[in-house]
Amino acid sequence: MTLSPSMAASTPKANSKTQALLTASQLNKTVQVGEQKLSIIKDVSMYVNAGEFVVIMGKSGSGKSTLLGLLAALDYPDSGTVELAGQTLSSLDEDALAFIRQQEMGFVFQSFHLLPTLTVAENIAFPLDIARRPNPARVDELIDAVDLGHRRHSLPNQLSGGEQQRTAVARALVSHPKIVFADEPTGNLDEQNANQVMQLLLDLRQQVGSALVVVTHDPALAEMADRVITMHDGRIDE
């Protein structure tokens, strides 16, 4: 049905998805394991509002990382769509997707994923540099925010785990992305570093106004979320 402008205006708030920043509809993903086709994401629909902090929980193997990969268009679904700010990601070619990942998304992974030959400052600057929008003042601001001024010229292999993840957090937020995806960002850290990294991630995303989707096993983190989604055997528990 097509609504005329006057009808649309008088229609009460249709559903929460209309306003969502990210909308996933009916996602399915299968993988081939030997002779068998295994269904690992089953009819998953979900949304993330602008600025919202969503946590995804669930047992090991329930499909959390796979789902995050689909939401971030790092991986393709067999069927279903992901829309970010009104754009259907699966309809875009690889160049357009790469551009959206650079401009609109930030990523933090359990194993840090820093570029090994770049210094802390260069890693943080990287999203701005590849977008040809270098901004040394913004990089300095982020280095200070994650308290790595004394490490700015260090390489990742010269850093502790906490320092590496603080670098990754700064890199994820440096270009004011609309949404940040984090897969067990504190999974490789001790409790003190985990708390510090998570607090930085929350503080910076508050400043930037990004939405945040975090896969975690940490109940304390789930308590801080606006909304918790639980996965079970490839599906979202209702």
Ligand X SMILES: Nc1ncnc2c1ncn2[C@@H]1O[C@H](COP(=O)(O)OP(=O)(O)OP(=O)(O)O)[C@@H](O)[C@H]1O
Using CB under 6 A as the criterion, which residues of the chain lie in contact with ligand X when the complex forms? Answer: 31, 33, 40, 58, 60-66
177 binds, among Mg ion, ligand X, none (CB under 5 to 8 A by kind): none
Of the two residues 8 and 220, which places its CB atom closer to ligand X in the complex? 220
CB of 180 to ligand X, least distance (A): 18
Of the two residues 59 and 150, which places its CB atom closer to ligand X in the complex? 59
Contact status, residue 69 vs residue 215, Cβ threshold 8 Å = no
CA dist., res. 172 & res. 175, Å (int): 8
CB of 112 to ligand X, least distance (A): 16
- Nearest residue to Mg ion on Cβ basis: 65
77 binds, among ligand X, Mg ion, none (CB under 5 to 8 A by kind): none
33 binds, among ligand X, Mg ion, none (CB under 5 to 8 A by kind): ligand X
Interface region with Mg ion, contact rule CB under 5 A, candidates 42-50, 62-70, 89-97, 123-131:
62-70
Contact status, residue 24 vs residue 80, Cβ threshold 8 Å = yes
Q: Which residues pair with 87 in a beta bridge?
A: 84
In sign, the C-alpha dihedral spanning 229, 234, 235, 237 is negative
CB of 228 to ligand X, least distance (A): 15
- Beta-sheet strand order (sheet of 79-84): 36-48, 22-33, 79-84, 87-88
Give Cα 230 distance to the centre of its chain: 17
Residue 160 CB neighbour total at 10 angstroms: 12
CA dist., res. 12 & res. 44, Å (int): 26
CB of 231 to ligand X, least distance (A): 6
Strands 53-58 and 227-232: parallel
Binding residue for Mg ion, selected from 20, 24, 46, 65, defined by CB under 5 A: 65
CB of 186 to Mg ion, least distance (A): 13
Can residue 216 be called a binding residue for Mg ion (CB under 5 A)? no
Name the site residues for Mg ion (rule: CB under 5 A).
Answer: 65
